[in-house]
Amino acid sequence: MKKNKNEGNDVEEKVSSAESDDNRSDDRVKVTKSVFQVSREEREKQRQEELRKQEELEKELARREKEKQEAYERRILEEKKELIRLKQGLIEESETIHEEHEEAIKLSFWKKISNFFYHNKWWLGIGLVIVLIFAYLIHSCITKPRPDITVLVIATDASIGTSEGLQRYVESFTPDNNGNGKKLCSLYYIERYKDGYSNYVTGSDTKLVTQLQSADSLIVFAGNEFKAMADTESIFMDLGEIFPDDPEIFGYYFYLKDTPFAERIGIDPELVPDDLYIAIRKPQKLLYSKESEMQEAYDRDVQVFIDIVNDLRGTEQE
């Protein structure tokens, strides 16, 4: 019995001890919860205080801005009133409106130059381009070769019209007309085709008409193709007028087939057509030239024509 009683007491003590431990644990939980709650409340108070201060600061800034705006509007209003009084002649001088003068900035010489280029760089660039263009055109005009004579070649075979030998042959009889110390003959070759459509498409007709309406080329090498398309007797001089004392030369053409022409220009005689001739245009009023201008060109080129004919005939003009 005693043993059972003792065991019962032990059990009661253990239960009592356990209950005591549980009570202490609840107290600790309550204390912990109380600490967290206090911390949260403190943070909330701080946040509310910061919001209040921020709101007060914004109100203060808005008040100052409003006062500044009102002061500006009052000043503008006063200046307008003063300006009206000045215009009406009620007052001679204003205490609120003052004319402001910008102080002149003094620049050094190099600073002025730099400032000028900076503010006018676009106009200076455009001006430079224009100057370069004019300089190029002037240089081209000065350095462009100026021929002493221009000869028109109308043929179906380029072997004659573009022959350097023909150019040198004509230059051998050409004086230095432009006074540059050199002799230069310019060959203007116009290729002719058997059919009229090809002449139209290639611009041959246009080139030919342009040349015949200017006083640039008076000596002409051509063939029957040119005879068929133009009234050559109204274009060329009668050779009997140029060689009045030579009965062997007459008509408007001097034919080259049975002459040393091929040898003179350095080509195969077989390349010289039977109908190839040399002639010279007569002075007359043209679309692009006055008769006086053509007469001047004729007086300059006719001696070259005479010298070529005489050389091919093996005779000399007295």
Q: 118-133 pLDDT, tens per residue?
A: 888 888 889 989 999 9
Please compute Rg for the chain using Cα positions: 57
Confidence at residue 93, expressed as pLDDT on a 0 to 100 scale = 66
Confidence at residue 277, expressed as pLDDT on a 0 to 100 scale = 93
pLDDT bracket for residue 29 (50, 70, 90): very low
**Burial of 52 (C-beta count, 10 Å sphere; 0-12/13-18/19+):** exposed
Q: 284-296 pLDDT, tens per residue?
A: 998 888 889 999 9
Distance CA 200, CA 121 (A): 51
pLDDT bracket for residue 102 (50, 70, 90): low
Confidence at residue 94, expressed as pLDDT on a 0 to 100 scale = 61
Instruction: Give yes or no for residue 249 having a pLDDT over 60.
Output: yes
- Pairing between β-strand 217-222 and β-strand 277-280 as defined by DSSP bridges: antiparallel
Segment 140-167 mean pLDDT:
83
Instruction: Give yes or no for residue 279 having a pLDDT over 90.
Output: yes
Higher pLDDT, 211 or 93: 211
Confidence at residue 179, expressed as pLDDT on a 0 to 100 scale = 81
Instruction: Give yes or no for residue 315 having a pLDDT over 50.
Output: yes
Residue with tokens 């009668």: 238
Confidence at residue 11, expressed as pLDDT on a 0 to 100 scale = 43
Packed helices 291-313 and 164-171: angle between N→C axes, nearest 10 degrees: 100
Segment 139-158 mean pLDDT:
81
Instruction: Give yes or no for residue 31 having a pLDDT over 50.
Output: no
Confidence at residue 5, expressed as pLDDT on a 0 to 100 scale = 46
Confidence at residue 2, expressed as pLDDT on a 0 to 100 scale = 44
Instruction: Give yes or no for residue 70 having a pLDDT over 70.
Output: yes
- Mean pLDDT (the chain, rounded): 81
Buried b or exposed e, range 66-87, using 16+ CB within 10 angstroms: eeeeeeeeeeeeeeeebeeeee
Instruction: Give yes or no for residue 32 having a pLDDT over 80.
Output: no
- Give me the CATH topology for the region 146-313: D-Maltodextrin-Binding Protein; domain 2 (3.40.190)
Where are the domains positioned within the chain?
1-97, 109-138, 146-313
